Amino acid sequence: MAKSSYLMTEGTVWKRIIRFAVPLFIGQLFQQLYNTVDSLIVGRLIGTSALAAVTATGSIIFLIVGFFMGFSTGAGVVIARDIGAGDEKAVSRSVHTTYAMGIAASIIMTVLGIVMTPTILRWMDTPADVFPEAALYLRVYFSGSIGLVFYNLQMGILQASGDSTHPLYYLIFSSVLNAVLDFSFIRFLHMGVEGAALATIIGQMVSAVLAMRRLLKTDEVIRFIPKKIRFDGAKLGQIVSIGLPTALQACVIDLANMMIQSYINSFGKVAMAGIGASTKLEGFVFLPVNAFSMAMSTFVAQNLGAGKKDRMRKGVKFGLLTSVFVVEAMGAMMVFFSPQLVALFDASPEVIYYGALRGQICGFFFCLCGFSHVSSAVMRGLGKPIVPTIVMLTCWCAVRVVTLMTIGRVYHNILLAIWIYPVTWSLSTIVYLLYMCSLRKKEVL
């Protein structure tokens, strides 16, 4: 069996990182375009209530998906490290343990998602006029959990090998298919929000099948052989040691975001729609950050496994500086053009006001969030997932929750739900800077 042709332990550092990150960026751009088109179609063809319902479910979806995808991140780091070390048998055990986890995760996610939907929406104080559509959207979405889980797990396996090109192809295909089905289900079949959810799960399912086909036919070390699916105790332990902290981090952060969403819900569907539209736009800003974050995890893990620390340090420096510069430039665009961009979703003055308010305040501080995300990815690549977990749970979760439970009860103002993000981004940036300096002194980084 041949080794991966996408190794990041050789060649010019910045070229390897860019080669890996650019396809990820383009793929995520297509996905974000679809997500935006989804909201545009829902907002324009169905109405403000439907837009509020779909955007309000975002934090719930991120919560459950993020928990299981944390394990996908853990698997990716373990596989990348095994590839860097040149241990083909270890790679195979890691890949097939990941598939075994995917089967279990699909079952759990489907059951929990469908059963818990009404309860979670009530916890979030979802307004009565939005509740039915939000519940319908979520239940349809979670019914296709198997496609969602395997789509992401297999993308993680491919990316762990340094291959971000094939995931790009599948993501573009999925996004285009989603957009076509979305418009068809809502415009011609008059399916409403359930049509938007159905389009998403069909697109993910088809892309998951394409990714599986690639892994079945490849002659590289990440080849998937169905009869080898089983839990390997040692590999499961490694994946869990990295994946569980990452999963808990994502889970608790999204719980905090759900509390913020609940706070936003108290201002009514207009605020929900405006803030939701701004959040969709914000997704575009962080595409480069997401791409560099995934690149950093794989780059660091592969080079750590290969024992190439000097190369690893050069890559980390390049990744951090580039992502921060790019995201701040895009943040400036959000500051100046938020009203016009939010108006694409809903042209009502009230919706534009809330959406533009968030964009114009948060845009100045996007560089801080970008630095924190990439730093977190570097820590995971180093096999230190506990560090970003503690930082994020403290700075991004505890501070946000405590603020809402104290100040939020006496100061009922939408500005609190907006400013809480720049403040906590600043805190995490300071902590990461201090910790990375300590690693540098110890010659770990």
pLDDT in tens, 151-198: 888 988 998 888 888 888 888 888 888 888 888 888 888 787 888 888
pLDDT higher than 60, residue 271: yes
Q: Is the pLDDT of residue 100 over 90?
A: yes
Q: What single letter denotes the amino acid at residue 24?
A: L
pLDDT at 358: 93
Evaluate if residue 385 carries a pLDDT over 80.
yes
- Average pLDDT of span 214-218: 92
| CA–CA gap between residue 233 and residue 242 (Å, rounded) | 15
CB 274 within 8 A of CB 351: yes
Indicate the DSSP class of residue 3.
P
Q: Is the pLDDT confidence value at 5 over 60?
A: no
Please provide residue 416's backbone torsions phi and psi, each rounded to the nearest 5 degrees: -65, -40
Query: What predicted TM-score, i.e. pTM, was given to this entire model?
Result: 0.75
For residue 133, the model assigns a pLDDT of 81
Instruction: Give the model's pLDDT for residue 357.
Output: 94
- Give the residue-averaged pLDDT of 241-263: 80
Domain boundaries, the chain: 13-441
Helix and strand element counts for the chain (H, E): 17, 0
pLDDT (tens digit, 9 = 90+) per residue, 47-98?
A: 677 777 776 676 677 777 777 777 888 888 899 989 988 888 999 999 999 9
pLDDT of residue 44: 67
